[in-house]
Amino acid sequence: MTDNQEVRVRFAPSPTGPLHIGGVRTALYNYLFARQHNGKFLLRIEDTDQTRFVPGAQDYIIESLRWCSILPDEGVSVGGDYGPYVQSERKEIYVQYAQQLLDNDRAYYAFDTAEELEAERERLHTEKGETFQYDAAHRNGMKNSLSMSPKEVTEWLGSGRPYVIRFKMPENVELTIFDMIRGEVKVNTSTLDDKVLFKSDGMPTYHLANIVDDHLMKITHVIRGEEWLPSMPLHVMLYKAFGWEDTMPQFAHLPLLLKPDGNGKLSKRDGDRLGFPVFPLRWPMDLTKEEIASGYRENGYYPEAFINMLALLGWNSGTEKEIFSMDELVEAFSMERVSKSGAKFNPEKAQWFNHEYLIARSDEQIAKESVPFLHGKENLYEPAILVKICGLVKDRLHFVKDIWEQVNFFFEAPVDYEEKAVKKRWKEETPSQMAELCAVLEKLEDFSTEMCEATVKEWVTVKEYNPGNIFNVIRLCLVGASKGPGVFDIMSILGKGEVLSRITAATGKISIVA
RNA sequence: GGCCCGUUGGUCAAGUGGCCUAAGACUCCGGCCUCUCACGCCGGCAACAGCGGUUCGAAUCCGCUACGGGUCACCA
């Protein structure tokens, strides 16, 4: 490609199930790269294998990308000038190109059945201990248009016998190919085999469809997972065979996302076994199946946090900045700073990212988001008070959905009291002290945080009580545990009546227990 | 097994021949703050896979070994 050409990249998943986070990251890097270069990001569906097609998977992919704000400029669901963007709708196109390769002697027909291939594999293994490869060294011993007479080939083709079209991989060519992340990679074509380009069911394989589509859609950069690195030589050879070398895209093979436990690449099956989601969204989305894999969205992640976390798995800016908005990512991203080695990810760090995004939100926003998790009790307070409550507890939250355990005491009086705290704080004189306190608070007109604090502190000072112990006893009465915001904030929000009633209730209950 | 890619603390990672007695973040552990928990602040534990070479000098360059991973389908 030339420098002044518009950058065009694509994300090309197969609709074989839910997209896992590795796929989302690949889409993200493609998107960032496109945005950064004022280029186009396309979404293409590679569904050439009908046997693995999973209904709903395509919608899942689109919905996942939408949730992440990784929006295609072109492609399935948005259209564009280079469609259709679903490979099964492009069948006739691939036929032409396969024919071109056949005509130029760069491909050939092969009639070997699965059984025959298996038999040959078995024979070679037992007789010579070799691994069978359909290549220059073996193709003459197989049933194909290279080993058979033209007449026979014509007959077999005419008889409706099933056949595939294989790429005729040149022998002994030293290839030096370039990867944007890994640099030069050298391979000898003799180690490569004659890959099937066209299947007997009339569909192309990934390799053919991918190269033809990338060429036709004017893709300039192929950014994909490292699992494709071994087929890069084949793809380069295909570009050469078609005579498209001049417009061949640049390749970038991204490091894999590894299982957090043990080794190996993260797979769809890992699911909830790991204790955190490996999918952006719950799967299946429609909940009609029994097996449900959880998603980041349903687990309470903000899409911005999810994206931020993913972006930093395999790339970093080289600075100490870790929190990036999408716009900042677009600005800072660079292929040169993508790491070469696979990354296991750290569930705790993922939560930390969400926490950072959560505390950056306004108290008003948190209050709004909290409503579904307040068990219908949100109307117990004025909206402004609810906002205040959220502001007081947001520091200790990873997810808004977990807010109830931080605020429950604002809505419900404690039914029991943390044993450890009772043991430590509840003294013989406590009940009478609390009775005194109630009398003092009773007279208080202004129940603001400040007035509560001033009043209680004055009383404690005059009586020469231990402030720490008194405050904690009050907390125990109001909350039932040693947690939560400042005790005077809690008093003020609960209000005089509730505070008095809770202290009275606690005094009764705890003395009975003790 | 063949081919290919990789290897800095538990994890993500900075580092592109001297500034490295190797940054930062997450986790963990201490301490401070403090009415509790959390936040915040301060501090701590903890790494250049090994061996050879190149060089005045190597985490950085080269080679070998080891280990890890990917891939070897009419799946993508």
The pLDDT tens digits of the residues spanning A179-234 come to: 999 999 999 999 999 999 999 999 999 999 999 999 999 999 999 999 999 999 99
Whether A496 and A444 have beta carbons less than 8 Å apart is answered as yes
Measure the CA–CA gap between A109 and A113, rounded to whole angstroms. 12
Whether A88 and A48 have beta carbons less than 8 Å apart is answered as yes
Specify the higher pLDDT residue, A2 or A379. A379
List protein-proximal bases of chain B (any atom < 7 A from a CB). Answer: 1-8, 10-16, 23-27, 35-39, 68-76
ipTM of this predicted structure: 0.95
Nearest Cα residue to A201 out of A50, A94, A84:
A50
- What is the four-CA torsion angle of A147, A149, A150, A156, rounded to 10 degrees? -80
Q: Is 70 exceeded by the pLDDT of residue A119?
A: yes
Query: In A 179-238, which Cβ lie closer than 7 Å to strand B?
Result: 182-183, 185-188, 191, 193, 196, 199-201, 203, 205-207, 210, 226-231
Cis amide linkage into residue A284, ω under 30° from 0: yes
The 10s digit of each residue's pLDDT in A143-183 is 999 999 999 999 999 999 999 999 999 999 999 999 999 99
Burial class (CB in 10 A: 0-12, 13-18, 19+), A378: middle
Residue type at position A307: I
Residue A256 sits at the vertex; the CA angle it makes with A37 and A245, to the nearest 5 degrees, is 50
- Is nucleic acid strand B under 7 Å from A13's C-beta? yes
Q: Catalytic positions of A, please?
A: 268
pTM beyond cutoff 0.80: yes
Query: Gap from A323 CA to B7 C1', in Å?
Result: 28
Query: Gap from A229 CA to B73 C1', in Å?
Result: 17
Domains of chain A in sequence order: 8-76+208-258 (3.40.50.620), 92-198 (3.90.800.10), 268-360 (1.10.1160.10), 363-402 (no CATH), 419-513 (1.10.10.350)
